[in-house]
Amino acid sequence: MSVPVIGVGERRARLGRRQLLAPSARAARVEDVADAVVGLHATDAATVYLSACARLAEPSAAEVDRALYGDVSLVKLLSMRRTIFAVTEGLAPYVSAGAARAIAAKERATLLKHLRDHAEGWDAARLAETEREVLAALAVRGEATTKELGEAVPQLRETMLMSAGKAYEAKQSVGSRLMRLLASDGHVRRCRPRGSWLSSSYPWALVPQWPDVPVREAKAEVVRRWLAAYGPGTVEDVKWWTGWTLGEVRTALADVGARGVALADGAAALVLPGDEGPVAAPEPWAALLPALDPAVMGWRGRDWYLRPEDVPALFDRAGNAGPTVWWCGEVVGGWAQRADGEVVWRLFRDVGVEAERAVAVEAGRLAAWLGEVRVTPRFRTPLERELVAKG
């Protein structure tokens, strides 16, 4: 019996609808956006806002602020692939149990080794006691920056000399590493930044403890969400996106009853049960998506939406995607914001008048909600730098 075939056009139709990129699919609330893509990349503070607003019917930084800091219905976790994701409060227990806790265990072991090697008087007991003191201080203060917490817990102010004797040696505070660890473990969260929504200076607050979810159940739920948003995908896609072992991926796929399909090139892929059928194509759509957007970082195999020859212009050497221009489910160029606020872009080839007009509309939409804000990606790419330099 032959398996269903899901071609490139079908995959692009799913992308436009399920990841809320077609205008008719856009959402009213940030929580709906985050769930639609499983989680919003949050390594770069700007990405959460730009990715969300590209998918909102009425883009607004205030709407993202509401979810992150008002209702606290979005939570940032160091999780899949050791990347920070902003996920909904309902999904957070699954992401925590399925990915973040394992990352936290590795982070704790690494931090303890660094403390033993590069600081004095540290062992597992002292690290655990310091963590307890930090949590107690936050319980009293409500919220505080790492620097402010250092006033109550002096150990946070101690430093580690990393890469001693090398040209890139640097001192790193215990506090910066420890707070990241506590966040990975689900004990603390980042609060509203001190400054604009682009600021990386923020206080911390305690997080109410989530329900305890068995690890296997949690991994299955994360994979179910991924297949719903990104399927069809290969086993390699799921392994790359989650950062799990092949065995963990296969177990999770079996637990959700994933069904086999074939891609246009004949490769084996998987979808959720009942999702083998076609999806109606949305209206033609354009999108200007930010660096590290979930759409460009969602799969390991990207040839169906990104030409290999365009990769060097759009990615840095570490594999981080820069700002991209999309037309009907395909990356067709890149964009940047110049110092005067102008949003500029370059298309890699002739995509037609309709596409060019749609891209211009999206650039205007982006510039309008950004207003006086200027965004520079944390991970800069060749095309983004070139576009900015020509301003």
Note the pLDDT tens digit of each residue in 270-324. 999 999 999 999 999 999 999 999 999 999 999 999 999 999 999 999 999 999 9
Percent of the chain with pLDDT over 90: 86
- HSE, side-chain direction, 13 A CA sphere, residue 274: 3
**Region 65-74: what's the mean pLDDT?**
95
pLDDT at 184: 84
DSSP per-residue codes, 265-301: TS-EEEE-TT--S-----S--EEEE-TT-TTTSS-S-
pLDDT per position as a tens digit, 129-159: 999 999 999 999 999 999 999 999 999 999 8
- The CATH code belonging to domain 104-206 is 1.10.10.10
pLDDT per position as a tens digit, 230-241: 999 999 999 999
- Residue spans of the domains in the chain: they are 104-206, 286-389
pLDDT at 161: 76
- Return the ∠ at Cα 21 (arms to 17 and 22), rounded to 5°: 65
Return the structure tokens found at 269.
């892929």
Contacts of 337 (CB under 8 A, 6+ apart): 343, 344, 367, 370, 374, 375, 376, 388
Q: Are 7 and 14 contacting, i.e. CB atoms less than 8 angstroms apart?
A: no
pLDDT at 13 over 80: yes
pLDDT at 361 over 70: yes
pLDDT at 1 over 70: no
